[in-house]
A and B are shown apart, each in its own frame.
Chain A
Amino acid sequence: MTTDPWWASETFWRKTAIWVTAGSFVVLVFLTFDSMSQITAGTRRVPAYSAINHRIEYRFDEQRHVQTPVIGAEEPLFGKKLTEQEAEALVEKGKLTIQAKNCMSCHTLLGNGAYYAPDLTKAWLDPFWGSREVREELMVAFIKDPSDKLHNGLGRRMPRLGVTDEEAHAIVAFLKWMSTIDTNGFPYNFKPLDQEG
């Protein structure tokens, strides 16, 4: 019976496997703590829910070479300025509805989900809505009953999902809030709705 060189022995690799796994996991946990501190709502990357009281823009950042969301002048959603608590409650209702209707099984949010319908990361800023004045109401109406609205030339339509008026408003709030998240330039080359007029 011969002995293997230490670096080819079963014991060496068993230990290596354990240490590599444990080491990677510890690093991941450390990075997770750091990431969590940077993506909690109310930070630079993920703004507070009350950001929906402001105009949201998506501008090219010269330093980072990509577009980033910019929170601009006061421009309350549905014309009603909300406190931080009210804003959070509204966005929460929107997020719950988005999960309850399984939006991600057709759409993508931040690029994750299914690919049967458009990405919603910047839905709030999409030129599809035409102008700033009519956007909010168009969005609410579309979400409540999309079946008879203009979609595309393909004949692909969003179904009616029984979304109530309250839920539709909340979804719009969630979408507006989601557009404030700094996604490192995703989506790239996006041309937002003209909000100046």
Chain B
Amino acid sequence: MIEPVKLANFFATFFSAAAVILFGALYALLFAYSRTRNMPRLMALAYAAYAVLFISVIVLANVANLFGSLFWMSVAILMLAGYLAAPHAIWHLCVNTHAATHHDGFDGHQPSTPLDCSNPETFQQPCKEKTP
């Protein structure tokens, strides 16, 4: 069973819930941007966004009384772990799905090229990901 939010905590609930999603996305955005553009400094900002997300989840769990039961506490913990790991996992997925060079000739006009690290115009990924 649940413990409803107290009236005084309404604003904190809405605000922290929105912050969870917004900073979750910001973390993912900065994370991915840092990796694609090879800007390690952005990674620090990404983790700063995650830190805000972390606080938001704790605030949300607190005002929505999630710490009161084992189940709801585990939902909060799952969110913390899931948001931390998701961009990493998705990133690996991106790299590996796009690395495939198999081409089924759909476009016709464009020759199939593997990730071309020599041409920064068409490929701005950090080539350390690909080149040995």
Contact = CB atoms under 8 A, between A and B. Distances in A.
Mostly, the A contact residues are loop
Nearest to A4: B100
A52 B5 CA distance: 33
B1 A1 contact: no
B93 A8 contact: yes
Contacts of B93: 7-8
B99 A4 contact: yes
Interface in B52-89: none
A2 B1 contact: no
Nearest to B103: A1
A65 B100 CA distance: 56
A65 B101 contact: no
B96 A188 contact: no
A64 B102 contact: no
Contacts of B100: 2, 4, 8-9
Interface in B1-41: 1, 3-4
Interface string A99-135: 0000000000000000000000000000000000000
B97 interface: yes
Contact of A2 (B4, B92, B97, B99): B99
B101 A2 contact: yes
A8 B101 contact: no
Interface in A1-21: 1-2, 4-5, 7-9
A65 B1 contact: yes
Given A4-B96, A8-B93, A8-B96, A64 B1 contact: yes
A7 B100 CA distance: 12
Interface of A: 1-2, 4-5, 7-9, 64-66, 185, 188
Given A2-B114, A185-B4, 12 more contacts: A1-B101, A1-B102, A2-B99, A4-B100, A5-B96, A7-B93, A7-B96, A8-B97, A65-B4, A66-B1, A66-B4, A188-B4
7 contacts: A7-B93, A8-B97, A8-B100, A65-B1, A65-B3, A66-B1, A185-B4
